[in-house]
Amino acid sequence: MEYPFPAQKTDSSGNDWSFMRLMGMSFIASLLQNQHLVDSAKLLVLGTLIETGRRLCKWLMERFQLQYCITAQFDEGDPAYEWIVLFLTQENVWRRSRDFRVNAKNSQRKWGVQAENEIDANADYVPTYEMPQLFRWKGYWVEIKRNKDSRQTFNFSSPSGPKTFATMIISIYTLDMNVLSSLIAEARARYQETSRPNVTVHIADTPTYGPGFIWSNVKYKARRPLSSIVLMEGVLESLVEDAQEFLNTEDWYTEAGIPYRRGYLLYGPPGTGKTSTIYALAGELGLEIYALPLSSGFVDDAYLQKAASSIPKNAILLIEDIDCAFPSRDDADEEDVTTYQEEDYGMVIPSPFPSGRKSAVTLSGLLNVIDGIGSEEGKLFFATTNYVDRLDSALLRPGRIDKKIQYRFATQSQASALFKRFFGRSTALPTADSSDEKAASPPSPPSPSIDSQAEAFASSVPEHEFSTAELQGFLLRHKKDSASAVACIGAWVAQEFMERREKEGRENERKAKLREKREAREARQMEGTMAKFGGMVGAMYGQPGRSAMVGGMVTGGPVEAPPTPSPAYDEGRRVDLVDAAIVAS
């Protein structure tokens, strides 16, 4: 008899393989009959094929990019990032962008784009370039992509937590490196051209633990004409000439083997125009300013070094109030070099910085950045101070500071020039009386010329007593009426002198109180020391607790530890220059 199935074949272990094969095939056959399962399997295969294809394309694209394109990366916080953002804005790459960041317009402009019919001129629209964009530039295909989350930096001083660090990546489909460098050169040139009406000021930002971000705080200030700075005759001209000459003589410096850098120190009382001069000079020469606030706590030697080395060539490195960085080494023995500040109410507040400094930067760190091994060439270094005598002589030597310019309180000729700057311009401010009233009133007698008013004004301003800023403040109050400025200046000067005398009286009182406190503290210290010494002598003679005669003084009893010595704060150093001038006069 024939069986419908093949004869059973069993192995040595007794397994019936033909039966099992038969069962498996029938199982597969039943699976194939299940339509759902077949569709799912098809989908699975299709999905796998698509994903493999996508990965293959990506891989091929990457190979292609590596082989046939040049990629450049721009980190936020680096000046070049700004050039590229502006370049993309001008190339209208943003037109295909669907992602914008909207800021209220302010001096921290980040090259926002302008819609054709802009409805709100108070807002800035900055494309984020989150999606890759492709555009053509001079016949080359350029791809632009912005990575936001790839690297996050953490800022310990910011309560808002981690900061997102953006990177712009540009890929140009060419193998010619010159194309990339000409794109960057053009981006920089356009940036300089666009920012010409403004002075670009980069302010060092709070440190973050990660790359970039040092110069991400950028401000654009309206360019100030040199003529608006009122200084002694020839001072400004010589400064501009010197800086201009420096910028034009790089080759000469290189040939002569002299480090190509130049340092300027502007010193003098507050409000006499030091900062304004630097801004006006930067505007005149088309230079950008990189300002490092030494007293801001987060700037230490390492940060200073990193910040200074990321400044491009032909820019101004500005350090304002440089005296706060360190006490003069020349004064190191003086009493006022202290780690403490004593307030009126007797509390002793430890200074966060050692040796009475108001900054974490050390003198050697600063010198290293100016002309040491870590210094960069091709920069104009500007420093300002109100206290030139506090500066260390090492800082002032030629090569570090090549030109010093002293600012003084205003002379009468400066007061006169300032007056003319206020009232001698063509765009006069509307006066208090309305135009209707003016038309109705009889014609007023011809007013004296601005020149003669300026003379009258200046003759009432005593020489070297007021800062230009103080005079400017007075003139601002009378900006609509030159005659009233002339009429009121005498009374204002008298009032200012009276206030100064009162302030001087209060200051003297404060100093006397501090002196008293210091003397009392010193006396307590002395007593404590003597008591300790007396106790030791008593113990030596085996009479603990008993009085001992030491140096003609009876001492004894429980020995008090002397109070923690807190070096006295020399309040004389705190007298500002305005007061110093009054004392001198």
Ligand X SMILES: Nc1ncnc2c1ncn2[C@@H]1O[C@H](COP(=O)(O)OP(=O)(O)OP(=O)(O)O)[C@@H](O)[C@H]1O
Amino acid, single-letter form, for residue 525: Q
Which residue, 468 or 482, has its beta carbon nearer to ligand X?
Answer: 468
Q: What Cα–Cα distance (Å) separates residue 462 from each residue in 9, 398, 418?
A: 126, 35, 15
Which residue, 275 or 338, has its beta carbon nearer to ligand X?
Answer: 275
Q: Contact between 88 and ligand X (CB under 6 A)?
A: no
Which residue, 229 or 395, has its beta carbon nearer to ligand X?
Answer: 229
Paired with 123 in beta bridges are 104
Coil, helix or strand at residue 204: coil
Q: Which stretch binds ligand X (CB under 6 A): 11-19, 59-67, 124-132, 227-235?
A: 227-235
Which residue, 206 or 386, has its beta carbon nearer to ligand X?
Answer: 386
Q: Considering the complex, what minimum distance in angstroms separates the CB of residue 320 from ligand X?
A: 6
Q: Contact between 231 and ligand X (CB under 6 A)?
A: yes
Residue of 147, 152, 217, 276 interacting with ligand X (CB under 6 A)? 276
- The span from the CA of 74 to the CA of 124, in Å, is 22
Q: Considering the complex, what minimum distance in angstroms separates the CB of residue 463 from ligand X?
A: 15
Residue of 273, 356, 534, 538 interacting with ligand X (CB under 6 A)? 273
**Which x/- pattern over 412-451 shows residues binding ligand X (rule: CB under 6 A)?**
----------------------------------------
340-347, Cβ contacts within 8 angstroms, sequence gap of 24 or more: 340/566, 340/567, 340/569, 341/569, 342/514, 342/517, 342/566, 342/568, 342/569, 344/510, 344/513, 344/514, 346/517
Which residue, 246 or 279, has its beta carbon nearer to ligand X?
Answer: 279
Q: Which stretch binds ligand X (CB under 6 A): 153-161, 264-272, 481-489, 556-564?
A: 264-272
CA atoms within 13 A on the CB side of 182: 9
- The span from the CA of 508 to the CA of 327, in Å, is 24
Paired with 316 in beta bridges are 289, 380
Q: Which residue is nearest to ligand X (CB)?
A: 273
Burial zone of 152 (CB within 10 Å; 0-12 exposed, 13-18 middle, 19+ buried): middle
Residue of 93, 170, 230, 315 interacting with ligand X (CB under 6 A)? 230
139-146, Cβ contacts within 8 angstroms, sequence gap of 24 or more: 140/172, 140/173, 140/174, 140/179, 141/172, 141/173, 142/170, 142/171, 142/172, 142/173, 142/183, 143/69, 143/170, 143/171, 143/172, 143/173, 144/88, 144/93, 144/168, 144/169, 144/170, 144/171, 145/169, 145/171
Q: Which stretch binds ligand X (CB under 6 A): 190-198, 224-232, 449-457, 526-534?
A: 224-232
Q: Considering the complex, what minimum distance in angstroms separates the CB of residue 400 from ligand X?
A: 20
Site for ligand X in 122-181 (CB under 6 A): none
Q: Contact between 274 and ligand X (CB under 6 A)?
A: yes
Q: Which stretch binds ligand X (CB under 6 A): 186-194, 274-282, 440-448, 498-506?
A: 274-282
**Which x/- pattern over 335-374 shows residues binding ligand X (rule: CB under 6 A)?**
----------------------------------------
Which residue, 83 or 407, has its beta carbon nearer to ligand X?
Answer: 407
Per DSSP (E only), the strands in 130-211 are 133-137, 140-153, 163-172, 198-203
Site for ligand X in 444-503 (CB under 6 A): 468-469, 472
Q: What Cα–Cα distance (Å) separates residue 338 from each residue in 64, 71, 318?
A: 65, 54, 27
- Tell me how many residues contact ligand X (CB under 6 A): 16
Is-contact 343 571, C-beta < 8 A? no
Is-contact 572 583, C-beta < 8 A? no
Q: Considering the complex, what minimum distance in angstroms separates the CB of residue 359 from ligand X?
A: 16
Q: Considering the complex, what minimum distance in angstroms separates the CB of residue 233 from ligand X?
A: 12
* Residue 388 tokens, joined: 């030139």
Which residue, 113 or 203, has its beta carbon nearer to ligand X?
Answer: 203
Q: Which stretch binds ligand X (CB under 6 A): 19-27, 187-195, 228-236, 298-306?
A: 228-236
Which residue, 74 or 466, has its beta carbon nearer to ligand X?
Answer: 466
Per DSSP (E only), the strands in 439-582 are 548-550, 553-555
Q: Considering the complex, what minimum distance in angstroms separates the CB of residue 190 from ligand X?
A: 30
Secondary element (H or E) of residue 178: helix 177-194
Site for ligand X in 373-402 (CB under 6 A): 384, 386
Residue of 170, 172, 187, 229 interacting with ligand X (CB under 6 A)? 229
Secondary element (H or E) of residue 528: helix 482-540
Q: Which spans of this chain sit near ligand X (rule: CB under 6 A)? A: 229-231, 270-276, 384, 386, 407, 468-469, 472
